[in-house]
Amino acid sequence: MSEIFKVDFKVRDYECDLQGVVNNSVYQNYLEHARHEFLLARGVDFPELTAQGIHLVVVHAELDYKRSLKPGDSFSVSVLCEMEGKIRIVFVQDIVKADGTVIMAARITGTALDLRGRPRIPEGLVEKLVG
């Protein structure tokens, strides 16, 4: 299992809805941004994979909203990657406020598809993600 990776954020006013809290859909942007930063830190290059005919895709998302973020809140998004079988890549992610309050627990499942739309994990990818 790989080590936990974290990205720090601060809520921007425009990410909030009329109730004054972060809109539910924005949390998925936070999660995705953290996954992309994790992949970059692990040497996974999206344009290079695409040029090779490999597309990383999300196939399932489980989001457990526990509390709300408000404008100006500082928080981090963690990423821990593990394999589920031979073709499913699972990103276990938490959004946690700077004071330690857990805001969201998420489990994002993805895979890699070839040009025919069939699952194909490229050689070396698993080692970069969970090694």
Instruction: Tell me whether strands 88-97 and 5-10 are parallel, antiparallel or unpaired.
Output: unpaired
Q: What is the pTM of this model?
A: 0.93
| 94 among known catalytic residues | no
Query: HSE on the CB side for 123, CA within 13 Å?
Result: 0
Q: Look at the chain and report how many structural domains it folds into.
A: 1
Short-list 7, 13, 128, CA closest to 78: 7
Which ranges of the chain have pLDDT less than 70?
Answer: 1-2
β-partners of residue 82 are 90
Residue 123 is predicted with a pLDDT of 87
* The two structure tokens encoding residue 107: 């489990």
For position 18, which CATH number holds?
Answer: 3.10.129.10
> Per the residue annotation, which of 17, 45, 64, 114 is the catalytic one?
17
* The two structure tokens encoding residue 9: 């954020």
Q: Which residue range(s) make up the domain with 109?
A: 5-130
CA–CA separation, 13 vs 69, rounded Å?
11
